[in-house]
Amino acid sequence: MSNNFIAKIDIEINADTATVWKWLTSPELIKKYFFGTQTESDWKKGSPIYFRGEWEGKKYEDKGTILDIQPGKFVKYDYWSSMSGKPDIPENYATVSYELTAKGNATILNIIQDGIDSEKSKEHSEQNWNAIMGSMKKMIEA
């Protein structure tokens, strides 16, 4: 099975890039909009990142490594999800990047997730990212 599908979303948030970055990297804020997920990382290149929580009554632990980071602008990490049902081996890791671009007083957040194995999974990922980041946007803009 090929993992060549890529999910992409762009969302405009009426806040500066520093505010959006804080919401993307602060565990206490992530938990508010990301299904109650507990995030753990020091947000440095080469460091681990963990996402832990419960979804539909099942505990999960997603994990990965920060591959690249420019604080306030860009982060890229790989990750494997225990919910995937796939073995924890390199070919089952996806890559996610967040890129922030200032647009006047707003920020454009671009998210790309690759390593997806089907069109259906790609569409599901895009729906999830839109829901998660839409929730974050509402909280930031409130």
Amino acid at 42: D
Taking the mean position of all CA atoms in its chain, how far away is CA 130? 11
CATH number for the domain spanning 99: value is 3.30.530.20
**Separation between Cα atoms, residue 121 and residue 31, nearest integer Å:** 24
- pLDDT of 2 reads 65
Name beta bridge partners: 108: 12, 101
Cα–Cα–Cα angle for 7, 127, 115, nearest 5°?
25
Asked if residue 98 lies in contact with residue 112, where contact means CB atoms within 8 angstroms, the answer is no
The structural domain count of the chain equals 1
Between 119-141 and 17-25, two packed helices, what is the crossing angle to 10 degrees? 120
Per-residue pLDDT of the chain in tens (142 residues, 90 and over written 9): 567 899 999 999 999 999 999 999 999 999 999 988 999 999 999 999 999 998 888 899 999 999 999 999 999 999 998 888 889 999 899 999 999 999 999 999 999 999 888 899 999 999 999 999 999 999 999 9
Residue 30, domain extent: 5-141
Report the SS3 class of residue 19: helix
